[in-house]
Structure 1
Amino acid sequence: MVPDGRVLDLGTALGEPTLTTLELLERWDEQLSILHSLVADPAGDWRPLAGLMVHAPLEPRQIFQSGANYRQHVIDLGVAQRAPDDRRTVEEARAEIAAIMDKRAAEDLPYVFIGLPASISGPYDDVVLPAWAEKPDWELELAAVISRPAYQVTVEQALDHVAGYTIANDLTDRATVFRRDMPPIGTDWLRSKNAPGFTPLGPWIVPAGSVADPSDLQVTLKLNGKTMQNESTKDMIFGVARIVSYISQTARLLPGDLVLTGSPAGNGIHRGRLLRDGDVMDGSITGLGAQRTRCVAQEAAAVGAPDDPIAVK
């Protein structure tokens, strides 16, 4: 628990020294009021956050990732990735793709794929860029954290299963998104998104009740101090409730699962500037804190996954 730059060891405060974030989420409904009372207690064993190492706020059981979910982002990607023989002007291409996005919002379904928990790293950890990744890109996203199991829930019920929200940077190697050897297979999310540390997470999980409106938050990413992404979640084609409900029609969502809601416009592939050794990414979302990660080429880093990338707070 981290209010006002102070931290409280929840395991000690709750009398359960080995308590994990997952266990807390499994009992979220009964524990939330206790957490609020702990925040209000000035006599608690509070310690300054300064000087402590901040890890990812949880180790998710499952990661569900929504793609192509920001209207402007999809339009930008569609224009940037036009075929060489596409005779449309930029304006014509944007207009056609915009019309498709509007029709999709009214009639279609969210697009969701699955990520791996091993891609999670802390909000201030270095990001190792694999030697094989030719076009690593940033994708800052709002992530929902599941507390109650959810299976075939309605849109109206969906947010009752969300404990809170956090920040995720869903890094992607654009060069491996599509299979070059077998184009009919389509996308290769395993290779393009799941390298160790490719999903910096956190710093905190903010309870849903403390987030006024998840559909009206500003998502901002700066690269070496220059703003690249600065978009509201209002631009989402499908909101959090719609995505959670859609996932639950097929899969059973479990406490501790992450639902990434897609990335807004301003990615490197659109700007013609991909990640490279030494880059520093600063990401923030309204009310959820901020993360800072430095990119390190694999040749300059120790080979292998970071030691102990996840710890319970």
Structure 2
Amino acid sequence: MRLLRHGSPGAEKPGLMTPDGSIRDLSARLPELTPGALDPACLKRLAGLDPDSLPPVMGAPRLGVPLVGIGNILCIGLNYRDHAAETGLPPPAEPILFSKHTSALSGPCDAIRLAPGSTRTDWEVELAVIIGRPARRVSEAQALDHVAAYAVLNDVSERSFQIDRGGQWIKGKSCDTYCPLGPWLTTADEVPDPQSLGLWLSVDGEMRQNGQTGDMIFGVAELIAYVSRFMTLKPGDVLATGTPAGVGMGRGEYLRPGQTVRLGIDGPDGLTLGQMTLPVEATPED
């Protein structure tokens, strides 16, 4: 099942995408797509709806952030060996954990607005894991039971803020629009193996990243079990699981106004977690 939010910014409504790619409005059955909607009983009820009984959404509406009320965006650094190598750093012995502020969230087709004063804004395609049940010191064997859905995430990063401004990664990761998420939530039952997905990203049509989640140093289940040792993961929390090689920092190329970033995640047997198309714009100085 693919759950989404459609409409203009601030006026989005919940919806679902049918297998044929059409969108149906859910607002008469679900007031909003919040962490509470990720409860297994609610997801089961939504999955039981007949899409033909729901009003169609005409045209090509804007899609917003697919979940409102996200509590935490937790991220894993250097979680692909090829990415660690391109940065010149050794693979970590334990997951590197940092966060993005929720004010960075933006929709899957909204512009990346380069932060004032930025000089090295970079791209990072990542698999996002959306927690559906509280996870507190869970085992690796049970970890995936706490996942409600998966999505595509671009961990946009201003490297000068991240690296040169006192060593706090969150400063380079949390600028407005630096966390595009979407285009929808693919429920976990549609993704039997999160380690069998392909991630890709292009800039102006030139492929920059092309990796596989099977190449993660720490897999999704291991990450959830690890993070839950230190904090309780709650419904609506988002875990960004790292990026493969091909980021701009590895080649000294960064985003400029007027460019277009496209990214997506696909799996076997026609599975797709969706694609995002993100224009790059400048933000005027305050």
TM over 0.5: yes
Q: Which runs of 5+ in 2 are unaligned?
A: 1-15, 267-271
Structure-1 residue corresponding to 2:104? 119
Cα contact 1:5–1:50 (8 A) shared by 2: no
SS of residue matched to 2:163: coil
Deviation at 1:62, TM superposition (A): 0.7
What is the number of residues matched between the two proteins? Answer: 264
The match for 1:34 is: 45
Matched, 1:6 2:22: yes
Deviates more, 1:51-60 or 1:261-270: 51-60
The residue aligned with 2:122 is 137
Partner residue of 2:180 out of 180, 200, 209: 200
1:1-313 matched pairs, under 5 angstroms: 1-3=16-18, 4-12=20-28, 14=29, 16=30, 18-25=31-38, 28-38=39-49, 41-48=50-57, 50-59=59-68, 60-78=70-88, 100-101=90-91, 104=92, 108-179=93-164, 187-286=167-266, 287-299=272-284
1:270 CA drift (Å): 1.0
C-alpha separation in 1, matches of 2:188 and 2:58: 23
Partners of 1:179 and 1:188 within 8 A in 2: no
* CA RMSD between the two structures: 1.7
- Tell me, yes or no, if the aligned pair for 1:6 and 1:46 is still in contact at 8 Å: no
Cα shift readout 1:178-218 (whole Å, capped 9, x = no counterpart) = 245x5xxxx22232110011000100100111013211111
1:55-80 deviation digits (Å, cap 9, x = unpaired)? 010131111100010110100111xx
Structure (1 or 2) with the greater helix fraction: 1
Query: 3-state SS of the aligned residue for 2:152?
Result: strand
Counterpart secondary structure, 1:75: helix
- CA shift, 1:135, in A, is 0.4
Deviation at residue 132 of structure 1 after TM alignment: 1.1
Kindly indicate whether the alpha-carbon contact (under 8 Å) linking 2:25 and 2:57 is maintained by their aligned counterparts in 1: no
Length-normalised TM-score, structure 1 = 0.80
Per the alignment, do residues 289 and 24 of structure 1 end up closer, same or farther by CA in structure 2, a change over 3 Å counting? Answer: same
Q: Which runs of 5+ in 1 are unaligned?
A: 79-96, 305-313
Name which structure has the greater RCO, CA cutoff 8 Å, separation 6+: 1
- How many Å separate the matches in 1 of 2:95 and 2:58? 38
Letter in 1 for 2:127: L
C-alpha separation in 1, matches of 2:238 and 2:58: 25
Residues 114-147 of structure 1 show CA distances to partners (whole Å, capped at 9, x for unaligned) of 2211110000001110121110000010000000
Q: Find the aligned partners of 1:280 and 1:43 in 2 and give their Cα distance.
A: 35
Secondary structure of 2:53's aligned partner: coil
| Structure 1 residues 9 and 251: CA distance shift in structure 2, 3 A | same
Is the alpha carbon distance of 1:42 and 1:275 closer, same or farther for their aligned partners in structure 2, counting shifts above 3 Å?
closer
SS of corresponding position for 1:243:
helix
Q: What residue is the counterpart of 1:93 in the other structure?
A: none
- Give, as a single letter, the amino acid of the residue that structure 2 aligns with 1:35: L
Deviations 1:235-284 (A, max 9, x none): 11001111111111011111000000001110011122110111100011
Larger radius of gyration: 1
Counterpart residue identity of residue 23, structure 1: G
TM superposition outliers: structure 1 runs of 4+ over 6 Å:
none
> Identity, % of aligned pairs?
36
Given that residues 138 and 169 in structure 1 are in contact (C-alpha distance below 8 angstroms), is that contact kept between their aligned partners in structure 2? yes
Q: Which deviations, in whole Å up to 9, do the C-alpha atoms of 1:66-103 show, x marking residues without a partner?
A: 0010110100111xxxxxxxxxxxxxxxxxx6xx53xx
Report the structure, 1 or 2, having the larger strand content. 2
AA aligned to 2:264 is S
Counterpart CA distance in 2 for 1:68 and 1:267 is: 12
CA shift, 1:48, in A, is 4.1
- Aligned-partner SS, 1:205: strand
Evaluate the alpha carbon distance shift between residue 281 and residue 49 of structure 1 in structure 2; reply closer, same or farther with a 3 A threshold: farther
Distance apart, 1:20 and its partner CA? 3.2
